Structure 1
Amino acid sequence: MTHPRPLRMVHPAPVPPGADEFEARAAAAVARARAWLPTLDEAVFDCYLGHLVRQLEPTSEADPVAILASLICFAGVHLGQGPHVRAGDDKHPLLVWPLIIGHTNTGKKGSSWSAARRLIADTDGEFVTVNIKSGLTSGEGLAQRFALDDEAEPDPDAEPRDLRLLAFENEWGGVMARMKREGNSLSHILRAAWEGGDLSTLTVNARIAPESHIGILAHITPDEFRAKLSDADMAGGTYNRFLPLAVAWSKALPDSVGADPGLVCSLAVGLAERLDAGGRLGVLDLAGDATGLWRELYLEFNADTHHPKVAQFVSRALPYCKRIAGIHAALDGTPAIHAAHLHAAAALVRYAIDSARALFVDTATPARLVAWIAEAGPTGRTKKDITVGFFGGNKKAQEINTLLEPLLAAGTLTRTTVPRADGKGGRGTEVYTARAPDPTNSTN
C-alpha cells in the first residue's frame, strides 16, 4: 500500500564560504562510512512507518533503516498481544528484535534512536515512562517483572496487566558479557520471551510468569559483536531471534536541530490513532493477493545456501517476514496481510540477511574498495588511505594484503611506488589506482 508524501516548500539558505568544499569532503566521508553496507531495496519504506521515516530522515544523520527498525520494534510492542500471526501450530506475537550494527561514531546508532524516540514520546509519553526500560542483567530479573503475586487474591474487576516491555540496550556488548557468566539464565529467558510466552523459573526463588510481551532494540559495533560472539552463542539459538541490520551515517548535517516539532506532533497523532485501532485486531491472515507471494518467500527464506554463521543468524527469516508484515497490516487497520505488506517486510528481511553476510563473510568489500579507490582518480589511494580511510583502522595489515593481492593479479587494481617526498632513499609510498566502471560496458 502506498502512502503519499506531503509536498513541502523548501527555501534555499544562504551558502556560507567554503560550502562546496565542505559538501564534497562530507559526501566522501559519508561514502566511506557506508562502504561496508549491503545494497538496500527501497521497498522497505513502502509502508506506513516508512512514510513516517521519509519525513523524519531529512533532518537526521542516522541511517533511515535504523529509524525504521526502531519504530517497527516500538509498534510491535505497543500493539500488544491482540494482533498476531500464525505459522503452523505456532502463534507469533508481532515482536521484532532489531540488532542495530554500526561502527562507533559513524554508525549514528544513537541518532537513530533519538529520531525515533521523539516521535514515540509524542505518540504515547506514558508508554515511554512505563514501558521502555534498559538494563537487562539476568533471566530472573526479567522474569520478575512479569511474575504473578502468589499471595494476592485474584480480582475479577481488575484491569488487565500491561505486559508490554521495550528493552532498549544501546550497549549490547555489556549484555553479551553478562549472559556469559556462569549461572546466568538470560539467554534462556530471552528465547522464551521472543515467543511471547512463559518466563517462569524453577530456581530457588521460583517465579510464575506465564505471559509476556517483550521487544528488544539493541545497538552494537561490528567488531565488538564479532569479538564477543562465540559458536556456542550461535548454536544456542539466542541470536536467530534478532534481526541484524547494518547501518551507517546517512548524511552530514552540522547545523541540524532535528525535525520540526509541529511535524513530529502531526505524525504522532496519526501514529497514535493507528496503534489504537491496530491493537484491537486479532489473528492476521494472508489476503488473497498475498498467498502466491508468500509461497515464493517460503521457498526463498527456507533455502539453505548461506555461510554457516549467516545461516544460524537468519534461520528465523520466514516467521520474521510474517511478523513484520503483520505490523504493517495492523497499522493499516486491516485484519489481512496484503502483498504490499509482505513486499516491504521481505525487503527488510533480505537486508538483514545481507547484513549478516557483510558482518561475517564480507563478500561485497572488494567491489566497494575498488569503487572507492577509483573515486580518487589518477591520484589513487595509499596503503594508509586504505587502512584508515576505508577500513577505519579496524582491519589488520595482513588481512588487507590478502584482499588486495587478487585484485592486483586480476588487473583490477594497479600498484605503483612513489619515491619519498623528502628525496631520501628507502622504500617509497605504495599507491593503488583503479579505473571507474564503464557504465556503457555493463552486463547487468
Structure 2
Amino acid sequence: MTEYNGSVIANGGAIGPSEHTEWPILAPKALYSLAGDIVNAATEESEADPAAVLATLLPLIGIAVGRGPYVKISDDIHHARLFTVIVGKSARGRKGTSEGPVRRIWDVAARTLGPLNWKPGPMSSGEGLINAIRDGDGKEDGGVPDKRLFIVESEFAAPLRAMRREGNTLSAILRTAWDGKTLEPLTKTSPIKASEPHVGIVAHITQAELRTLLGNIEIFNGFANRFVWFGARRNRFVPLARGMRDEDVERLGRELAKRIRIARNLKCIKFSSEARDLYIQRYPQLTADHDGLFGVVISRAEVQVIRLALVYALLDASHEIVVNHLKAAFAVWDYCSASAARLFGSIASNPLEARILSPLRNGPKTKTELHRATGGHTNAAAMDSALASLQQRGRIFSRTESTSGRPCEVWHLSRNANEAKDAK
C-alpha cells in the first residue's frame, strides 16, 4: 500500500482500520479489459469517479448474465451477484455521474440482449422486493418469469431507516437475495414468494447519512458484509462536461452485448491452476480477523473476491477464472477494504464495547467506574462478556493494583497488541 497526494493506493498491502483519513485510489489492475475501457470512456470527460462507475458496472454485468454461470466452493454455489454501496462525502456527483454512462452503454447492449428489470428503488420492505420478481400463484397472477432484478437505490438512507421499523423484513430478504435462495416472508398472511432470485444492488449514501444511521449497529451486523463498500469522490472539476462520445457508447455497448451473450451459455466456472495458487496465497489475509464494525463489514472478503473474479471472467466470456481476473478482483477488494477501514474502522461492533472503550481513553477504570460510565444499567454478565471480548482481542487489559483497602482489578486501554501479554 502506498500513498499519493495524501490518498491511499489500494494495491494488495494489508490495511488496518483508521490508518488513513483519505479515500483510497483505485489500482489500475481493477480496470481490466472491457471494464477498464468502459470506466475510462465514462470518466474521460466527466466528474465521475472511476470507482463509482465500476461499482455500478460490475453488479449490472452479473445480473445481466443471469444465474447460469457459477463458481462452486465446497458445497456452496456462487453466482455473479454483487451488492455495492457508493459512499460520497456529499450528494454532489453521486448518482448521475456514475449511473448515467453505464446506463447509456447498457441501453445499446439491450437492443441485442433484451430488456432488464432495472429499478430505481426505493427499497422499503422485503415484500416489495419479492413482488418485483414474484412467482405466479397458479391462478390469476402469472408472476414475473425473469428473476433478474437490478436495483439502483439512490437514497440508501431510506431503506436503512425502514429496517428500524418493527416487523420490517427488508434486511432478512436482502440477505437471502444475496445468498440466492427462495425469497419468502415468514408470515402466514403473505403467500408471495420468489424462487431462484438473481438480484443485484447499487446503493448510494453520503458519509453524513451513514454516520447518523450507524447508531443502530445491529442493522449493520446483520447484512453489511453482503455489500462491497466503495468510497467515492469527484474525479475532477468539469464545468461543462461533454460526456461520452456517441461512437464510443455504440462500440462499447455492442461489445458488451457480444460478451454477455456468450457468458450466458457458460455453467461451472473453475479457477486456472495459476489463479488457484494466487487465491490460496491471499486467503490468510482475506480471512484474517479484524476488530470492530470494520471486521464485521469485511468478514465475507473471500466470497466477495470470488464473485468479483467471476464477473471479470464473464466479462471476458471466459470459461475459467484466470490470474488477470483474480488480480482485478483483488484490486477492487483492496480498494473497498480500505474504504471500509476509513468508514468503519473506529467503530466497535458491540455498542457496549464502544461505551467501555470511550471512558478508558481518559484513563484506567475499575469495573465499578466502568459500570457508572456506561450508564449504570448494564447487567454484570453483559459487562463481563464485553470486557472479556475486548481483552481477548487485545484492545484492553487488566492489572490487580493495590489500594488503601483490598487489591482492585483496574482496566486499561492497550496501546499495542502485546501490552496485555506484558502486563501479566
TM-score interval, normalised by the smaller of the two chains: 0.7 to 0.9
The question of whether the paired residues in 1 share the 8 Å contact of 2:176 and 2:183 is answered with yes
Q: Deviations over 1:103-155 (max 9, x none)?
A: 22445443111122111222216866643342211111212233322334999
* 1:249-264 mapped onto 2 (5 Å cutoff): 249-264=234-249
Q: Does 1:337 align with 2:321?
A: yes
The question of whether the paired residues in 1 share the 8 Å contact of 2:62 and 2:311 is answered with yes
The question of whether the paired residues in 1 share the 8 Å contact of 2:123 and 2:158 is answered with no
Task: For 1:341 and 1:161, locate their aligned partners in 2 and report how far apart those are by CA, in whole Å.
Answer: 32
The correspondence for 1:191, drawn from 160, 172, 175, is 175
1:273 matched to which residue of 2?
A: 258
Secondary structure in structure 2 of the residue aligned to 1:174 = helix
The question of whether the paired residues in 2 share the 8 Å contact of 1:133 and 1:165 is answered with no
Deviation at 1:265, TM superposition (A): 0.8
Task: For 1:150 and 1:58, locate their aligned partners in 2 and report how far apart those are by CA, in whole Å.
Answer: 49
Q: 1:35 to 1:300 in 2, by over 3 A?
A: closer
TM-score when normalising by structure 2? 0.72
The correspondence for 2:204, drawn from 219, 224, 227, is 219
Task: For 1:58 and 1:253, locate their aligned partners in 2 and report how far apart those are by CA, in whole Å.
Answer: 10
Q: Deviations over 1:296-329 (max 9, x none)?
A: 122110011x231111001111111111111111
Q: 1:105 to 1:228 in 2, by over 3 A?
A: closer
Secondary structure in structure 1 of the residue aligned to 2:180 = coil
* 1:427-438 mapped onto 2 (5 Å cutoff): none
Task: For 2:172 and 2:346, locate their aligned partners in 1 and report how far apart those are by CA, in whole Å.
Answer: 30
Q: Does 1:36 align with 2:22?
A: yes
Secondary structure in structure 2 of the residue aligned to 1:275 = helix
Secondary structure in structure 1 of the residue aligned to 2:150 = strand
Secondary structure in structure 2 of the residue aligned to 1:200 = coil
The correspondence for 1:353, drawn from 337, 343, 360, is 337
2:148 matched to which residue of 1?
A: 164
Deviation at 1:93, TM superposition (A): 1.3
* 1:332-411 mapped onto 2 (5 Å cutoff): 332-361=316-345
1:143 matched to which residue of 2?
A: 130
Q: Deviations over 1:208-267 (max 9, x none)?
A: 32221000100000121121122211222x111000000100111112221111111111
Q: Name the aligned partner's letter for residue 225 of structure 1.
A: L
Secondary structure in structure 2 of the residue aligned to 1:59 = coil
Deviation >3 Å, runs of 4+: 105-109, 125-133, 152-155
1:207 matched to which residue of 2?
A: 192
Task: For 1:325 and 1:212, locate their aligned partners in 2 and report how far apart those are by CA, in whole Å.
Answer: 21
1:316 matched to which residue of 2?
A: 300
Segments of structure 1 that go 5 or more residues without pairing to the other structure are 1-26, 29-33, 364-401, 403-444
Secondary structure in structure 1 of the residue aligned to 2:90 = coil
The question of whether the paired residues in 2 share the 8 Å contact of 1:80 and 1:279 is answered with yes
Deviation at 1:69, TM superposition (A): 1.5
2:38 matched to which residue of 1?
A: 52
Task: For 2:49 and 2:175, locate their aligned partners in 1 and report how far apart those are by CA, in whole Å.
Answer: 28
The question of whether the paired residues in 1 share the 8 Å contact of 2:80 and 2:308 is answered with yes
The question of whether the paired residues in 2 share the 8 Å contact of 1:107 and 1:247 is answered with no
Task: For 2:117 and 2:258, locate their aligned partners in 1 and report how far apart those are by CA, in whole Å.
Answer: 20
Task: For 2:117 and 2:195, locate their aligned partners in 1 and report how far apart those are by CA, in whole Å.
Answer: 20
Secondary structure in structure 1 of the residue aligned to 2:317 = coil
Which region of structure 1 is more displaced relative to structure 2, 38-47 or 102-111?
Answer: 102-111
Task: For 1:48 and 1:299, locate their aligned partners in 2 and report how far apart those are by CA, in whole Å.
Answer: 30
Secondary structure in structure 1 of the residue aligned to 2:44 = helix
Q: Does 1:228 align with 2:213?
A: yes
Task: For 2:344 and 2:183, locate their aligned partners in 1 and report how far apart those are by CA, in whole Å.
Answer: 32
Identity of aligned residues (%): 32
The question of whether the paired residues in 2 share the 8 Å contact of 1:79 and 1:279 is answered with yes
The correspondence for 2:109, drawn from 112, 123, 134, is 123
Task: For 2:71 and 2:145, locate their aligned partners in 1 and report how far apart those are by CA, in whole Å.
Answer: 22
Q: Does 1:307 align with 2:291?
A: yes
Q: Does 1:297 align with 2:282?
A: yes
Q: Deviations over 1:29-74 (max 9, x none)?
A: xxxxx97212432211123212221222111201011111111010
Task: For 2:152 and 2:329, locate their aligned partners in 1 and report how far apart those are by CA, in whole Å.
Answer: 22
Give the aligned CA root-mean-square deviation in angstroms. 2.6
1:83 matched to which residue of 2?
A: 69
TM-score when normalising by structure 1? 0.69
Number of residue pairs the alignment of both structures matches: 328
Q: Name the aligned partner's letter for residue 274 of structure 2.
A: D
Secondary structure in structure 2 of the residue aligned to 1:184 = coil
The correspondence for 1:94, drawn from 74, 80, 88, is 80
The question of whether the paired residues in 2 share the 8 Å contact of 1:47 and 1:341 is answered with no
Segments of structure 2 that go 5 or more residues without pairing to the other structure are 7-19, 348-360, 362-424
Task: For 1:314 and 1:235, locate their aligned partners in 2 and report how far apart those are by CA, in whole Å.
Answer: 11
Q: Which has the higher strand share?
A: 2
Secondary structure in structure 2 of the residue aligned to 1:218 = strand
Q: Deviations over 1:358-384 (max 9, x none)?
A: 112379xxxxxxxxxxxxxxxxxxxxx
Q: Deviations over 1:84-117 (max 9, x none)?
A: 1122211111011110000224454431111221
